[in-house]
């Protein structure tokens, strides 16, 4: 079982080198992360964007320009289309966002004619968090793409998270469907949806994981909290996967973990023809590097 993000990197190093297309690459942390990934032989990279700006950023970041293949296109929308086209044409295995608004990036991926989303598929964000106080990686969904997931979307989010957990060599991940309480309360839709999804898993409609909910966050991570509350759950105190009630809760958890708990993380969008790295423009080089490694592992 992979328990750290550095282990993700090591697993990728043992596999054939993947090809990465970076859209609008003139961003310092993106260039640093891509340069590092190329040096460590995780990927070969093609960057689209303003070539002069990319070369300057690479020079300032002390990244060897010889590591980077650049396709010059100063218009951001066209640079994104070029990067997506590389994936569609089989010239790249996965995609990464550079100095680009997330909304524009997502719109490019889901474009019905020239994007990467197969018909009928749902795009979702999966993050893998390494928190200093926890014994293993936490797979989280969705903190960045689906604003208000309904029951069907939450089931899809869970299935995506299970698939990522399996790639992390977690044979039977334990998934916590989160809410504020453990009791079903019709006035709190997340509790009823969690209970329904847990029953779906119990009856084999969702496979590959041990699923329970609704669970509050403390119960997901603390056996003592579960014992004090009288909660008997196979997931309590041992969660691998968190499914949030909505994007607000997920995004707050995600940022609290990184900014207050100093967690490391990797983040991708799944559901498309390939994993697509989606990190914040303010994220660190490490986050972007680990995200490249995760996307490579998934692709």
Residue-wise pLDDT tens digits, 82-96: 999 999 999 999 999
| β-sheet with 124-130: strand ranges across | 69-72, 43-49, 18-23, 94-97, 276-277, 264-270, 124-130, 138-141, 241-243, 174-178, 210-215
- The CATH number of domain 124-259 is 3.40.718.10: yes
Residue 140, pLDDT > 80, answer: yes
pLDDT band at 283, cuts 50/70/90? Answer: confident
% of the chain surpassing 70 pLDDT? 100
Q: What is the CATH number of domain 5-119+272-298?
A: 3.40.50.10950
List the domain boundaries for the chain.
5-119+272-298, 124-259
**Residue 57 predicted with pLDDT over 80:** yes
Q: What is the mean pLDDT of residues 248-273?
A: 95
Average pLDDT, the chain: 95
Whole-number pLDDT of residue 173: 98
Confidence class of residue 14 from pLDDT cuts 50, 70 and 90?
A: confident
Which residue, 21, 19, 22, 43, is CA-closest to 99?
22
Quick one: average pLDDT of 101-115?
A: 95
Centre a 10 Å sphere on the Cβ of residue 60 and count the other Cβ atoms it contains. 11
pLDDT (mean) for 39-48 = 96
Q: How far is CA 190 from CA 37, 154, 157, in A?
A: 39, 10, 14
Q: What is the mean pLDDT of residues 237-266?
A: 95
On the question of pLDDT at 121 being above 80, the answer is yes
Q: What are phi and psi of 141, to 5 degrees?
A: -155, 145
pLDDT, residue 291, reads: 98
pLDDT, position 65: 81
**Whether the predicted pLDDT of 282 surpasses 80:** no
- Is the model's pLDDT at 281 over the cut of 80? no
């Amino acid at each position: 079982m992979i328990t750290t993000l550095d282990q993700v990197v090591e697993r990728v190093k043992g596999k054939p080198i993947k090809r990465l297309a970076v859209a609008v690459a003139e961003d310092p942390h993106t260039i640093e992360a891509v340069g590092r990934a190329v040096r460590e032989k995780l990927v070969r990279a093609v960057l689209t964007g303003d070539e002069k700006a990319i070369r300057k950023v690479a020079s300032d970041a002390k990244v060897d320009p010889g590591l980077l293949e650049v396709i010059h296109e100063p218009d951001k929308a066209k640079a994104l289309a070029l990067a997506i086209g590389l994936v569609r044409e089989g010239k790249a295995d996965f995609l990464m966002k550079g100095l680009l608004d997330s909304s524009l990036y997502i719109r490019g991926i889901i474009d019905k004619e020239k994007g990467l989303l197969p018909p009928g598929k749902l795009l979702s964000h999966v993050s893998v968090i390494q928190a200093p106080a926890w014994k293993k990686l936490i797979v989280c969904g969705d903190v960045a793409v689906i604003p208000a997931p309904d029951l069907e979307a939450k089931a899809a989010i869970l299935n995506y998270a299970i698939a990522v957990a399996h790639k992390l060599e977690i044979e039977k991940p334990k998934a916590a469907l989160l809410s504020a309480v453990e009791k079903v309360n019709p006035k709190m839709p997340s509790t009823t949806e969690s209970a329904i999804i847990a029953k779906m898993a119990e009856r084999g409609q969702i496979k590959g994981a041990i699923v329970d909910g609704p669970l509050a966050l403390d119960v997901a991570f603390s056996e003592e909290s579960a014992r004090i509350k009288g909660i008997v759950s196979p997931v309590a105190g041992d969660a691998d996967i968190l499914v949030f009630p909505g994007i607000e809760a997920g995004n707050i958890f995600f940022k609290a973990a990184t900014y207050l708990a100093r967690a490391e993380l990797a983040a991708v969008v799944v559901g498309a023809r390939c994993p697509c790295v989606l990190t914040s423009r303010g994220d660190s080089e490490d986050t972007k590097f680990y995200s490249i490694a995760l996307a490579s592992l998934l692709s």
